[in-house]
Structure 1
Amino acid sequence: MISTGTTLQGFAPDFSDLARGEWLAALRTLGQEHGFAEPLGKRHAGVFVEDGDTLLVSFETMSGIEALSETRTPLGFDMVRDYGWSSLSVLSHGDTWFRDPLVYGFFDQLLDDDFFEEFERVVFYGAGPCGYAAAAYSVAAPGARVLLMQPQATLDPRVTEWDDRFAEARRLDWTSRYGYGPDMIDAADQATILYDPRERLDAMHAALFTRANVQRFRLPFFGGAIQTDMRMLDLMPRLLIATAEGTLDAARFATLFRARRSYPPYLRKLLAHLDNAGRDGLTRKLCRNVATRMNAPRFRRRLAQLEAAPGQHPVLPVDAHAIED
């Protein structure tokens, strides 16, 4: 088992009250105090915090950190604080897919310095454009494990002309260094991809990652912001730990993913789908299950409508735990 005791006593940075310029300066100072901080041109930076022998290499946008973290700190800082990991946060200003020669050079230097050899376990993580980057740069650490959420494989129009979401990014260089995401994970011990199969373009990118060392887990009715959902469900630490330990198989993921049974955004999307499909029998079962476990007025109302018939009074279940509708 991976150690869960931190050695950086009192490591709990909170940058929530800082302006953007002050925030960047605070990140740089913290990196310099506990590892290193390296600017990589105008749009990228690397911040390393050294602690335990498990390293999380996370790719994140600055706006994503501000939106998802209450303390406005990179995901890796949570793993340093709570589990004693080390963290290398590679940050971008906007969605750049980290296609920048300065970022190539940064990972080249880490490879030349045998930086990744200093750690017993290395995990690369990213979502969406950052998921592409996590796949692409994982080649610098052979044997690493990779966790990706809705990654793009490439936006080279010769390969993915069907993806019309990021037209401007097609002009980036996708073929020189650290290029095609699915090829770059060949050296990984294992890569795990989470995606919603109902998001057609995400599913098409996920299919391009078909490799012997890749497993793909489907999350239907989660939509296009799986990273946000995993954080709201408090599953990120457990997913990362299982990835690092090499125990994130189908059975382990299914166990973790049972948390969706009490997650209102997922349940509402599922209800809407069943209603639109006219699946009254399944809708009735869903509403009865949710309404008996949770205080969910929307599901109680829908159940009452389904069970109301001429000469029959609707049956309302007894509520258990309070939760907002």
Structure 2
Amino acid sequence: MTAPSQSSALYDASGAVDRVSWLARMEEICEDSGYFDPLGPGHWAFFADEGTTLLVTFEQIDTIRSLPGQMPMGTTLAQEHGWSHLCLIADGDTWYRDPRVFRYFDRLVDDAFFEDFDRVVFYGAGMGGYAASAFSVCAPGASVIAIAPRATLDPAVAGWDKRHLAQRRLDFTSRFGYAPDMIEGTGQMFLLFDPRQTEDAMHAALFTKPFVAKLRTPFLGDRIEASLTNLGILGEMIRLAGEGRLRPADFHRMWRARRNFGPYLKAIAAETARSGHPQRELSVCRSVTRRLSAPKFRRRQQELEDQLGVLSEGDL
């Protein structure tokens, strides 16, 4: 296994100045241990062979290139723990509905690729969450962590979801198409979603297998991945899954950190303000200012106390 200091230097594409140089750098990175293969014009497979636990992620090239090291998010996580990493990289909103991607996973199964690892974890968010769920069928016993996964974009099944109209033309009726069926055989799936996002909640409801743990993250909207990353929750969940120790109770314990997370608190405050219930909004502000130094919440608390004609807590 590569030593940590060497590994950090190896998995770095920050010097790439355009897509051509980035692709060349990714090939160079994989020369000694792994591979970087195109799967047609819209996808690539990046594999770093580092350990007996495998993290499989589904990411988009533009997002990867926006990160400081221009490496997949999963590479950073895998590197921290000495794991191997397989990343399916998409160029745009492909939803991985490409026969060349299907054939790639067929080859992995035929080669017993996943059987070489002690544990396998599939991860993705949104489009990547769909793919992580759909292709997990290739690795029986794997754990799946999926953020706001779509079950399908087939309008005959999910016609109520109007968010991806252009991608409805893709074929979701053939192989690996309906994600809730493809998770059969996984060890456990952890499905994170915001129940206040109607479409995401409806997709989540289609995952009905008993081994699916539905973990609610209200008020995070479409920023669940970024928020859980900032809170340190996502990386810890993936680590525990890679060690075979992740349980729903672990998430609920870590989720308590939201009580000190600015974007979450601001979302709750905005919702209570929109609801037209100043007393409820005041309760939120007081809850925050009791625990945190939050000048904006304190100012709003004072405004509401004046509006409602109630004493501030300091005067009680």
For the criterion TM > 0.5, the same-fold answer is yes
1:95 to 93, 96, 106: 93
For residue 267 of structure 1, report the CA deviation from its aligned partner. Answer: 0.6
**Whole-angstrom distance in 2 between the partners of 1:311 and 1:254:** 38
Counting aligned pairs with the same residue, the percent is: 43
* Alpha-carbon distance change, 302 to 57 in structure 1, aligned in 2, over 3 angstroms: same
Question: 1:191 matched to which residue of 2?
Answer: 189
Q: Is the 8 A contact 1:136 1:181 kept in 2?
A: yes
Q: More displaced, 287-296 or 172-181?
A: 287-296
Deviations 1:40-68 (A, max 9, x none): 0111000110111110000001122234x
Question: 1:27 matched to which residue of 2?
Answer: 26
Q: More displaced, 138-147 or 10-19?
A: 10-19
**Whole-angstrom distance in 2 between the partners of 1:113 and 1:77:** 23
* Structure 1 SS opposite 2:7: coil
Question: 1:108 matched to which residue of 2?
Answer: 106
Q: Is the 8 A contact 2:119 2:244 kept in 1?
A: no
Residues 118-137 of structure 1: pairs in structure 2 closer than 5 A: 118-137=116-135
Q: Does 1:10 align with 2:9?
A: no
Letter in 2 for 1:241: R
**Whole-angstrom distance in 1 between the partners of 2:45 and 2:179:** 20
* Structure 2 SS opposite 1:88: strand
For residue 316 of structure 1, report the CA deviation from its aligned partner. Answer: 6.6
Question: 1:214 matched to which residue of 2?
Answer: 212
* Alpha-carbon distance change, 146 to 287 in structure 1, aligned in 2, over 3 angstroms: same
2:80 to 75, 82, 90: 82
**Whole-angstrom distance in 2 between the partners of 1:153 and 1:175:** 12
**Whole-angstrom distance in 1 between the partners of 2:267 and 2:94:** 31
1:180 to 174, 178, 183: 178
**Whole-angstrom distance in 2 between the partners of 1:70 and 1:234:** 18
**Whole-angstrom distance in 1 between the partners of 2:310 and 2:113:** 71
**Whole-angstrom distance in 1 between the partners of 2:70 and 2:117:** 26
* Alpha-carbon distance change, 261 to 70 in structure 1, aligned in 2, over 3 angstroms: farther
Letter in 1 for 2:265: L
Question: 2:234 matched to which residue of 1?
Answer: 236
**Whole-angstrom distance in 1 between the partners of 2:70 and 2:259:** 29
Q: Is the 8 A contact 2:7 2:79 kept in 1?
A: yes
For residue 258 of structure 1, report the CA deviation from its aligned partner. Answer: 1.5
* Structure 2 SS opposite 1:10: helix
Deviations 1:273-325 (A, max 9, x none): 122224444433322232233332210111112223698775579xxxxxxxx
For residue 260 of structure 1, report the CA deviation from its aligned partner. Answer: 1.2
Deviations 1:249-269 (A, max 9, x none): 332111111121221111100
Is there any run of 5+ residues in structure 2 with no aligned partner, and where?
Answer: none
TM-score by length of 2: 0.92
Q: Is the 8 A contact 1:7 1:51 kept in 2?
A: no
TM-score by length of 1: 0.90
Q: More displaced, 94-103 or 168-177?
A: 168-177
Q: Does 1:276 align with 2:274?
A: yes
* Alpha-carbon distance change, 178 to 307 in structure 1, aligned in 2, over 3 angstroms: same
Is there any run of 5+ residues in structure 1 with no aligned partner, and where?
Answer: 318-325
RMSD, aligned CA: 2.1
**Whole-angstrom distance in 1 between the partners of 2:38 and 2:307:** 67
**Whole-angstrom distance in 1 between the partners of 2:293 and 2:281:** 17
Q: Does 1:203 align with 2:198?
A: no
Letter in 2 for 1:59: F
Q: Is the 8 A contact 1:303 1:316 kept in 2?
A: no
Deviations 1:54-101 (A, max 9, x none): 10000001122234x322211221123211111001100001110111
* Structure 2 SS opposite 1:198: coil
For residue 188 of structure 1, report the CA deviation from its aligned partner. Answer: 0.5
* Structure 1 SS opposite 2:85: strand
Question: 2:36 matched to which residue of 1?
Answer: 37
**Whole-angstrom distance in 2 between the partners of 1:263 and 1:311:** 29
**Whole-angstrom distance in 2 between the partners of 1:245 and 1:281:** 46
Question: 1:56 matched to which residue of 2?
Answer: 55
Letter in 2 for 1:101: P
For residue 17 of structure 1, report the CA deviation from its aligned partner. Answer: 4.0
Q: More displaced, 185-194 or 234-243?
A: 234-243
**Whole-angstrom distance in 2 between the partners of 1:22 and 1:152:** 33
